[in-house]
Structure 1
Amino acid sequence: MRGTTRTVTMVAGVASVALLAAACGGGSDNPGTSSSASGGKTGGTVTVRGCNPQNPLIPSNTTETCGGNVLDAITAKLVHYNPETAAPENDIADKIESTDNQNFTITLKKGYKFHDGTEVKSKNFVDAWNYAAYGPNAQSSGYFMEPIEGYGDLQCAGKDSEDPCKGYTPKAKKLTGLVVKDDYTFTVKTTEKVSNLPVRLGYSAFSPLPDSFFNDPKAFGEKPIGAGPYKFDSWTKNTEIKLSKFADYSGKFGGKLDNITFKIYQDADAAYTDVQANNLDVTDEVPSSAMIDDKYKQDLPDRNAQKAVGVIQTITFAPSKVDPNYADPKIRQAISMAIDRPTIIKQIFNNTRQPATGWVSPVVDGYKANQCGEWCTFDAAKAKAKLDEAGGFKGGKMTIAYNADASHKAWVEATCNSIKGALGVDCVATPVVDFSTFRANIAARKQKGMFRTGWQMDYPSIENFLAPIFKTGASSNDGDYSNPEFDKLLNEAAAQTDAAQANAKYQQAEALLANDMPAIPMWYSTATFGWSDKVTGVKITAFGTIDFSSLALK
């Protein structure tokens, strides 16, 4: 689970390569998806690459990978996703039952404990979900509770367009669709049928919260308490986050390590250099400078792996009220056609990406190729003609913003060069100091122009690549896209009891995005890991994350 709804923080890029530079060679073999060694000893400490979380570590308010990677290790949810296939497997849930996809009865396993020693009970889920859904709490993942009956009554509807909660109290504080039956049973009633609700319940927004959370949510965010295999120890801002094994963890998804330390890096090359020198044990990002001619394979022989994962890179347009220069869909389509994805992927990513032809990752059921059509195919002449049809670009120069604490500079500059070459409009790659600041600017609707966005699936479903990002008012709808027909199709898809029929509706909704182009699909990602000679059992999950259950010291 990522992401997503975690917004992906990093995609590797060369520091100095420009588009249309001399072609770089590339290997044709397929690296493995895990370290070849197995087993490993029990105990010890491992360091992994980390980055600055955008927000305090509250599960329902963490929508990016920097914080999400930490929460994945310390939380347990109703459902756990298989690290290799992403298939949902019951975790705290003993049973999730429904005869109509609208009324669900959830039975918990007994004995799960939070890190503060209290037992996980039904009320810990119900209270947590009510907190997430209540508008004044301003939880960025509160949107995930929308299908539950009564959600609308918990939302703010004040007259202040910038802050609808200002001077307004919602009609209710609790979802009518959640009912505690006993300590280990609760029911969920959704407003409409939701065919994939059980699949969603492994996402961090659905984590239970201990009673202590509600005494001081702010303090909790600085030192979170979960029910997972590792507990939170400390957070030294901009430096590291430390976790240790939870002795009373009773689930079946534990790990061998005693301690995990996320070392926070401002630069991907620095993390990679530390892995080479055995000063960092695992990096989930190999910079493209090491991808050229498969250099990383020589740098890290038998210490690397690669896997196609549920991640897509996109470029999103600022909301029209923030920057009206990109409001015309024809301008957006022209820009998309002006991007030479295959050349950028070849020269900067050594062909380790796949050009995107739509907004949904190929790894999930329901994926349909070529949903973007001609708008995602590079054609300089058609791009220029489409821009002329729109009356040209009136905003002077185009800009693409990116977070400077990861290796995005090269591919963003290459993209701008491609746009400039095809459209004859100046395009400037615009760095923002770090991911936290970058995301804060986007959330506050202060980021103008275009900006890089990435999506790592929260759960393995076509719906997860559409609803949280493009549905009206959704938590990760950075461009404030709104299309009633799109929303209608999503609702109709969610009501289907047949998976194939649901996917067909979602595919119809995705096709509408080509008409409006709220975000430009760039490429589907492949995760490349590197590790020190001290560890074994390094596995890349289907989400592109580290599988801490298998990681161990040799």
Structure 2
Amino acid sequence: MRLTRRVRLAGVALAASALVLTACSGGSDDEGSGDASDAIISVNGSEPENPLIPTATNETGGGNPIQNLFAGLVAYNADGSTTNEVAESIESDDATLWTVTLNDGWTFTDGTPVTAESFVNAWNYGADPANAQLNAYFFYPIEGTTEEGNTPEGVSTISGLTVVDESTFTIQLKKPESDFPLRLGYSAYFPLPEAAYGPDGKITAEYGERPIGNGPYMLSESGWEHDVQISMVTNPDYEGARTPANGGLTFKFYADLDAAYTDLVGGDLDVLDTVPDSALATFETDDVQAFNDPGSVFQSFTIPETLPHFSGEEGKLRRQAISYAINREEVTDKIFDGTRTPASDFTAPVLDGWSEEVEGNEVLTFDEEKAQELWAEADAISPWTGSFQIAYNTDGGHKAWVDATTNQIKNALDIDSSGAPYATFDELRAKVNDNTITTAFRTGWQADYPSMLNYLGPLYGTGAGSNDGEYTNPEFDTTIADAASTEGDDRYALIEDAQAILFTDLPAIPLWYSNIAAAAATDVDNVEFTWQNLPDYYKITK
């Protein structure tokens, strides 16, 4: 899932990634009676980029609330293992035809039942190109979708999905994928109630503002207050694996992380999942609970091939030169006080099968002489003109590292290089999404489900919803598809092969992995960070 702001890492190992009331669903925003089970826990968040629709959300501003407002077929535990949630069983004899049987008694917060059609209809909607849903790529493994995950033009249903009865449906995949159930806790696969759809079969704007879900929480009466916060209370009918120990959650939106940290220290925020740069040197001794552990968030920046001098062989040479020009160890030490680890691949070191020995990853080392040599080779194809900039959102705490990185590029390559600030994440993403951005731009990834494949296919697969640079390489696509249908060491070998292709093309420039550099107020208890570097929200009490 795309990061809306700089995220810290969770120190756990592998495994993966609204509800609104209808006109009368209950709940208030007050702090409760004083019991831990009544307390509303305030956490930092950001204004969602899109409506709160699971298949339309691929960034953390909307994704984190959605994960708490809905329940999927499986739920992810803090250590990355999975637990069946809405599903009673997910079974297959050949890893190609999967049969899903639902548990009895699940309802949405409007009282309607969660059925097999609730899932199948939502998935069909998410894969229909007429609906332009950002998570269409996640349906690509299912028979009857195109390479972009969409259903073919003019087709509104996925042929590989079949409703057997009210509590059973089958999923026919294009090829065997033994870990397919692992991804089914990600929000793209959440169910939707009939109330989500209007007379034309489209999800209504009203639903996107106040979705009806089936998760541990539901929106409070105030719900989503744009540019302020999203408030939710517990769902009294929820009986899944994530029963809340508190009375609700409030995702408070901050324009910058310094303000959030000030609120935390001052008692106006309970949990902050990302400590600002300004506090990294002191937060472990400040009057807060500090967390600093290895994690799974991957940080990079993307240079679109559409930019002048960055297409074809010239573009490959310039990307490699820029990568060699960056001293990642210096940035992680001086800017992040050791709360980042220089990257050695495109995934994350807490995942099964990870290796720091990937062919081609020497391009991530700092080598000024090599950078200049490659830049000169590119100049021989077409002399460099202009400046090199990295766009970033100032509400996410990125200025310091962007300034440091572009200064290194400037000094190593003797070119004009600087940051290109945007006031908000939404403003930056609007330029990226409509392909009007004219610079490189910062990117990052928080895994949706616990697999290295989730760091690769959704970001660099042809037509994938989070492929911001519109990268395409048929050899990479084939290798990733083969890895998905292979098990054990053979799978990991194919993943390394796929990454070797990326290290040649560099559709993104890997930078570092974030640690969990997070904090909680001193009166908050049971704060645990997950494999996704996120708080296990439902466990928190105060």
Q: Structures share a fold, TM > 0.5?
A: yes
Q: Secondary structure in 2 aligned to 1:232?
A: strand
Change in 2 beyond 3 A, CA 1:153/1:533 = closer
Indicate conservation of the 8 Å contact 2:10/2:530, yes or no.
Answer: no
| Alignment partner of 1:402 out of 383, 388, 392 | 392
Shift of 1:495: 2.0
Q: Secondary structure in 2 aligned to 1:490?
A: helix
Shift of 1:72: 1.1
Shift of 1:189: 0.1
Separation in 1, partners of 2:525, 2:386: 53
The one-letter code sitting in structure 1 at the alignment partner of 2:297 is V
Q: Does residue 347 in structure 1 map to residue 334 in structure 2?
A: yes
| Alignment partner of 1:128 out of 111, 122, 127 | 122
Separation in 1, partners of 2:149, 2:213: 27
Sequence identity, in percent?
39
The one-letter code sitting in structure 2 at the alignment partner of 1:407 is G
Separation in 2, partners of 1:285, 1:385: 38
Aligned to 1:198: 181
Aligned to 1:373: 361
Separation in 2, partners of 1:75, 1:502: 31
Shift of 1:31: 12
| Alignment partner of 1:105 out of 99, 102, 126 | 99
Aligned to 2:514: 525
Separation in 1, partners of 2:503, 2:11: 35
Q: Deviations over 1:414-455 (max 9, x none)?
A: 000110111101111011110112112111111122110000
For residues 207-226 of structure 1, the aligned pairs below 5 Å read 207-215=190-198, 216-226=203-213
Q: Does residue 11 in structure 1 map to residue 6 in structure 2?
A: yes
Shift of 1:252: 2.3
Change in 2 beyond 3 A, CA 1:459/1:413 = same
Q: Which moved more, 1:452-461 or 1:441-450?
A: 441-450
Indicate conservation of the 8 Å contact 2:90/2:99, yes or no.
Answer: yes
Separation in 2, partners of 1:77, 1:408: 33
Q: Does residue 58 in structure 1 map to residue 53 in structure 2?
A: yes
Separation in 2, partners of 1:31, 1:104: 31
TM-score, with structure 2 as normaliser: 0.91
Separation in 2, partners of 1:62, 1:550: 24
For residues 138-537 of structure 1, the aligned pairs below 5 Å read 138-152=132-146, 170-215=153-198, 216-233=203-220, 234-292=223-281, 295-301=282-288, 303-318=289-304, 320-321=305-306, 323-327=307-311, 328-371=315-358, 372-391=360-379, 394-496=384-486, 498-537=487-526
Separation in 1, partners of 2:327, 2:495: 28
CA-based RMSD of the aligned residues comes to 1.9
Gaps of 5+ in 2: 13-34
Indicate conservation of the 8 Å contact 2:96/2:175, yes or no.
Answer: yes
Indicate conservation of the 8 Å contact 2:10/2:532, yes or no.
Answer: no
TM-score, with structure 1 as normaliser: 0.89
Aligned to 2:19: none
Change in 2 beyond 3 A, CA 1:359/1:463 = same
Indicate conservation of the 8 Å contact 2:11/2:533, yes or no.
Answer: no
Q: Secondary structure in 1 aligned to 2:309?
A: helix
Shift of 1:153: 10
Separation in 1, partners of 2:518, 2:116: 38
Q: Secondary structure in 2 aligned to 1:362?
A: coil
Shift of 1:366: 2.3
Shift of 1:195: 2.2
The one-letter code sitting in structure 1 at the alignment partner of 2:224 is W
Separation in 2, partners of 1:384, 1:522: 19
The one-letter code sitting in structure 2 at the alignment partner of 1:9 is T
Separation in 1, partners of 2:402, 2:41: 33
Shift of 1:66: 0.7
Shift of 1:386: 0.7
Q: Secondary structure in 1 aligned to 2:154?
A: coil
Aligned residues: 508
Shift of 1:155: 7.6
Indicate conservation of the 8 Å contact 1:284/1:530, yes or no.
Answer: yes
Shift of 1:373: 2.2
Q: Secondary structure in 2 aligned to 1:549?
A: helix
The one-letter code sitting in structure 2 at the alignment partner of 1:117 is G
Q: Secondary structure in 1 aligned to 2:537?
A: coil
